[in-house]
Chains A and B, each alone.
Chain A
Amino acid sequence: NAGVTQTPKFQVLKTGQSMTLQCAQDMNHNSMYWYRQDPGMGLRLIYYSASEGTTDKGEVPNGYNVSRLNKREFSLRLESAAPSQTSVYFCASSDFLDEQYFGPGTRLTVT
């Protein structure tokens, strides 16, 4: 039981490049989330998926898109990366109304 896994662990992009961050969970959770964490700050919600087939915007969705591929997988795409998107990205999953379980994070630098 691996919990929540994220790939890649590290990524460096040039401004304007695109990439997709992958997330998978093996806990049969209905809900999945993408957060970003900037230095010395808490987590801010980018997008979430309450259940398979649905996605909704969080606090900071601009510049991102998501896909809930199936119940296990939830990807985050940056179409045209900007330096302001340099951050650590965390994926999480939960059953409805229960605590969220987090992955190890992806450290993204945009130059």
Chain B
Amino acid sequence: GESVGLHLPTLSVQEGDNSIINCAYSNSASDYFIWYKQESGKGPQFIIDIRSNMDKRQGQRVTVLLNKTVKHLSLQIAATQPGDSAVYFCAEKENNAGNMLTFGGGTRLMVKP
């Protein structure tokens, strides 16, 4: 079974509400950030990315915000739907580290109908 300390933080939202998932990163040399969605039993799926020369990027129903001053990344999902229920991971890439990504621990999003 799962070990203590490995339980994911969980965000529970009502269908139709907006969701905000947060991620703190520690490496000030990171210059590229990605959000992935992972549904149960599946591999991570790319949602949206942002480079360090930007502070906001929008996709379809999703927005990523980057605050380099406090090393914080957030994913906003508009009009959350049941199909958005999944675990969300942020990942960062350090400048001059090739294409090696470092993943955060993940947040579970639960959408209540």
Contacts and interface: CB of A to CB of B under 8 A. Distances in A.
Interface majority SS (helix, strand, loop, mixed), chain A: loop
- Contact-residue bracket for chain A: 20 to 34
B45 interface: yes
Contact of B34 (A4, A31, A39, A99): A99
Interface majority SS (helix, strand, loop, mixed), chain B: loop
Contact of A99 (B8, B46, B102): B46
Contacts, number: 61
B16 interface: no
B50 to A, nearest CB: 11
B6 interface: yes
Among B7, B45, B103, find the residue whose CB has the most chain A CB atoms closer than 10 A: B103
Interface residues of B, number: 25
Interface of A: 4, 31, 38-45, 48, 50, 58, 90, 92, 94, 96-105
B59 interface: no
